[in-house]
Amino acid sequence: MQLFVGLGNPGAKYAGNRHNIGFMAVDRIAGDHGFGPWRAKFQGHVTEGVLEGEKVILLKPGTFMNLSGQSVGEAMRFYKLTPGDVTVFHDELDLAPGKLRVKTGGGHAGHNGLRSIHAHIGAEYARVRLGIGHPGHKDRVAGYVLQDFAKADQDWLDDMMRGIADGAPWLAQGKPDRFQNAVAQRMTPPRPKPERKTKPVPDPEPPQEAPEDTRSALQKLADRFL
């Protein structure tokens, strides 16, 4: 059994924020793979489904971001899981918008949601880092992550969510490389093969008209016998 956790802040006010891209990811997995209805549990909302034969619990903590670990820890203990069974989807300032990376373990890099999860279950869980870019200065970070994605972001954001849903079965099977490939294919679809150019066949030249015969009748007769 796997526990996939999407990080974000609860409520309609925050739904389109960059900080809520983790919620968006698990919502897309649930919708595209026919998971059951979301229900309130573990200080958040959960739904269950199966990905390639592997049972997966999706969790959206209902606490605010900096208390996410409470919900994750409660769910993990209920299902008797280890940190190695947990994958957290979260926004990543250090990746360009549309970039995605999977890693296991390591620090929280100042992310309040990860900091809280570290405190409750330790660091040895998997993370799907969803790039949102950096505003350029640390003083602007709080306002940046709590802003909605711009309209210009919608195309790559939708492609990323489609790719995450496509690759989710690979992630459930413990094959992060294949998961990342599935996302990459959505983000940069293969180019169509160029049409093979054939050498054009030149148009046939029109037949040339014979020059007009200006000889006299006597000359024509003479030419026949000379």
**What is the rounded distance in angstroms from the CA atom of residue 73 to the CA atom of residue 148?**
28
**CA nearest neighbour of 108 among 99, 100, 117:** 117
Q: Which residues pair with 58 in a beta bridge?
A: 4, 47
> Does residue 64 have a known ligand-binding role?
yes
For the chain, helix (H) and strand (E) counts, in that order, are 7, 7
> Rounded to 5 degrees, what angle do the CA atoms 167, 172, 177 make?
55
Cα(78)–Cα(81) distance, integer angstroms: 8
Residue 66 labelled as part of a binding site? yes
Q: Any known ligand binding at 112?
A: yes
Residue 2's H or E segment, with its range, is strand 2-6
* Residue 45 is a catalytic residue: no
- Output 131-134 pairs: Cβ under 8 A, ≥24 positions apart: 131/92, 131/94, 131/95, 131/96, 131/97, 131/98, 131/99, 131/100, 131/101, 132/18, 132/21, 132/91, 132/92, 132/93, 132/95, 132/97, 133/93, 133/95, 133/96, 133/97, 134/93, 134/94
Question: Which tokens go with 108?
Answer: 């929280």
Residues known to be catalytic: 19
Which parts are annotated binding residues for tRNA? 14, 64, 66, 112
